[in-house]
Amino acid sequence: MMESEGIAGIEQFDSPGKGRGLRVSRAYGVGELLFSCPAYSYVLSVNERGFICEQCFTRKKGLAKCGKCKKAFYCNVNCQKKNWPMHKLECHAMCAFGENWCPSETVRLVARIIARLRHQRERSPSEKLLSLRDMESHMEDMDNEKRELNEAHIAGLHHFYSKHLDFPDHQALLTLFSQVHCNGFTVEDEELSNLGLAIFPDIALLNHSCCPNVIVTYRGINAEVRAVQEISQGQEIYTSYIDLLYPTEDRIERLRDVYYFSCDCKECSTKSMDKQKLKVRKLSDEISQKEIRDMLLEMCELSIDKMSTVFDDSNIYILHMMYQAMGICIFNEDYDGGVRYGEKVMKPYTVLYPAYSLNIASMYLKMGRLYMALDKKSTGINAFQKALAIMEVVYGKDHAYVTELKQEIRGE
């Protein structure tokens, strides 16, 4: 391995409570570029095909397409040639699978990382401070849901890429997917549309703050880090991993879920903006859950009225609104309202969903409970029976849901 050369003005250090971090060895002013990093691996979103070059991410008119698959677009032959080692992982497969070619963006990115790792001997220009292998993975912190997601990704990888890739062992794949999960970047344009997914190892050293002093932007396949606050010598640099619009509780939940930490930034401890973010136009101090629900119901009703002038009752947009309205009525213990919306939803549901559907079963169940609450016993039992017939098939006759519903029908 080549010795890492570092980046002038930037140093890695142990940030207390945050793992590794980056700090500046001189002051930086607002707008100043701290450093940039070429993507180690990247993938263009399927939606952007034809508008952006697969290789250099230049946006321009008149890109030329791959003659084989006709799905990849390039500035010129030069970009096409450079891109071939990555595109060949997909070119044939896309033709072979046709309509059924649908790996997730994460899977596509990991395939490219694996291909690159195979051929890479020396440390790349994307790894002046941190090599890809050393990125945080949080393997120990993952819950079952995350593990299952990773397993599904791995299955996708084997399904769509086995022809052109030698895979590392299962454990190494799990690590890779976990690393991508908490170190991957979505590349966005100036309207914040998603262009693709990429890995920038050096930039993955940046820790998060909800009052960030730098912002990461993209120029082609390079990421650039610029100061958005005055940064004095020795200060840690922080970017934001998330949309900062949301109140503290929401931000903390998101950071915990994806990145496994709780933020201790100034905004998270003072919550100074939460009040404004959750402000209501009312003289009385608190707005109750009930009032919020009533407002939502009013919005649903208005939309339903307006939509009925254009859409039929079986239109899914109006169905969705009525389903929401039903939920709000139930929450407000307005069972008559709930039944009214429920009955409207029920009919199209039975037509639009397959006969054995969890959605239909749950609707019959909800309706049954509403009828019972309104003392309409025989209508209620009738709905329960319909739910039961589906549930015995989809859950199995020995499932607790089925036995419990039978008890409910017997009035136990």
Task: For Zn ion, give the closer residue by CB, 150 or 239.
Answer: 239
Residue 19 interacting with ligand SAM (CB under 6 A): yes
CB of 249 to Zn ion, least distance (A): 11
Structural contact between residues 210 and 204, judged by C-beta atoms closer than 8 angstroms: no
DSSP assignment string, 162-214: TTT-----HHHHHHHHHHHHHH-EEEE-TT--EEEEEE-TTGGGPEE-SS-SE
If contact means CB under 5 to 8 A according to the sort of partner, which of ligand SAM, Zn ion, none does residue 390 touch? none
- The stretch among 73-81, 114-122, 151-159, 253-261 that binds ligand SAM (CB under 6 A) is 253-261
Phi, psi of 194 (to 5 degrees): -75, 120
Among 55, 80, 183, 248, binds ligand SAM (CB under 6 A): 183
Residue 259 interacting with ligand SAM (CB under 6 A): yes
CB of 410 to Zn ion, least distance (A): 53
Structural contact between residues 278 and 305, judged by C-beta atoms closer than 8 angstroms: no
Task: For ligand SAM, give the closer residue by CB, 210 or 370.
Answer: 210
Phi, psi of 105 (to 5 degrees): -60, -35
Task: Single out the residue of 165, 200, 155 nearest to residue 85, CA to CA.
Answer: 165
CB of 95 to ligand SAM, least distance (A): 36
CA distance 34 to 180: 24
Place of tokens 């980046």: 7
If contact means CB under 5 to 8 A according to the sort of partner, which of ligand SAM, Zn ion, none does residue 136 touch? ligand SAM
Among 5, 6, 17, 358, binds ligand SAM (CB under 6 A): 17
Task: For Zn ion, give the closer residue by CB, 178 or 240.
Answer: 240
Among 4, 9, 18, 246, binds ligand SAM (CB under 6 A): 18
CB within 8 Å of 344: residues ≥ 6 apart: 313, 322
- Residues engaged in binding ligand SAM (CB under 6 A): 17-21, 136, 138, 182-183, 204-205, 207-209, 259-261, 263
